[in-house]
Structure 1
């Protein structure tokens, strides 16, 4: 492995509900893995953030449910910027890879597609 690269992703949920948050986070993590050919041992760490309106659970629980029990995970809240999109779960995944920065595929799903239209993901 040549580099530690950051891979960004985001998704949204309609309400502050643990089940919805975990489902959306699992969907996002699965899409990131598939889009970039990531193996679990490639993941150095993941930072999850949510908008301040999401407090029902830690998004990192979804990674643990996917079996990533040895990956360092951190959850935090985004800044509460007036007018910002609500219900957003963001991911910054640090991955050891031989891919160049241009080869990395960032994934934005659901309502988060409007945040980075160039990274909107259709699967």
Structure 2
């Protein structure tokens, strides 16, 4: 068994708590679904948000999902690079799995699809 990383990102329409929490839940559920993983498989989740999203911690939505209360979650702010995608939440989900790295399915939703179109082909 190895630890593998799964990337994910999603954009939100506005800096509103409900939108941020709903987007975080949608993204984690999408990652779980396409990769066939359970919360018990997850070593941890690193979450970043762009500086324009400060109305809620995305981790709050994940902690409220069944089975996710003990998964280590950490939120931080993305590096503010000029011209980068706005209102974006990014995940790095580290999972314990027997799958190879190329078998991991990365999930990019909404406006975040522009970040890694090469990885969308693998879905």
Does TM-score exceed 0.5, indicating one fold?
yes
Task: State the TM-score bracket (shorter-chain normalisation).
Answer: over 0.9
Is it true that 1:17 corresponds to 2:20 in the alignment?
Answer: no
Deviations 1:67-98 (A, max 9, x none): 31101110000011111110000000010000
Q: Structure 2: where are the runs of 5+ without partners?
A: none
Number of equivalent positions: 121
Query: Match of 1:21, SS?
Result: helix
Judge conservation of contact 1:113–1:119 (CA < 8 Å) in 2: no
- How does 1:34-113 map onto structure 2 within 5 Å? 34-67=33-66, 68-113=68-113
Show structure 1 runs of 4+ deviating over 4 A. none
Judge conservation of contact 1:43–1:93 (CA < 8 Å) in 2: yes
Deviations 1:10-69 (A, max 9, x none): 000011001001111111100100000001110010000000000001010111121311
Task: Kindly report the root-mean-square deviation, in angstroms, between the aligned alpha carbons of the 2 structures.
Answer: 1.2
TM-score, normalised to structure 1's length? Answer: 0.95
TM-score, normalised to structure 2's length? Answer: 0.95
Q: Structure 1: where are the runs of 5+ without partners?
A: none
Q: How far is the alpha carbon of 1:6 from its aligned partner?
A: 0.7
Judge conservation of contact 1:109–1:120 (CA < 8 Å) in 2: no
